[in-house]
Amino acid sequence: MEKLIVCRCEEIALEDIKKTAQKYDCSAREIKLRTRAGMGYCGGRTCRPVLDKVLEQVTGEKPDDMIPLKVQPPVRPVSLSTLGGK
């Protein structure tokens, strides 16, 4: 269960989150920043619900207790013609 991948984009496992929380005794936001969980290509759209639950179990913080973990959608695709192609 510890090898369960929580954030696929950054390949962060449950074990990584727990070890970071234990080593640094930090908040949910700090764990996100240290591990990059939820900060990959999808911007947390895929892993955010699971990440919030895991961080709540590990740190005891509710997701909106402090500064919220921001969900940012990925950059929109741009066609080559928009970039100056023909």
Count other C-beta atoms under 10 Å from residue 81's C-beta: 8
- What confidence score (pLDDT) does residue 43 get? 81
pTM score, whole prediction: 0.65
DSSP 8-class letter at 12: E
* pLDDT exceeds cutoff 70 at 2: yes
How many structural domains comprise the chain?
1
**pLDDT tens sequence across 5-59:** 999 999 999 999 999 988 998 888 888 899 999 888 888 888 888 888 888 888 8
Range of the domain at 59: 1-86
Measured in Å, how far apart are the chain's first and last C-alpha atoms? Answer: 51
Which H, E and C letters describe 47-72, residue by residue? CHHHHHHHHHHHHCCCCCCCCCCCCC
- Rounded CA separation 60/35 (Å): 18
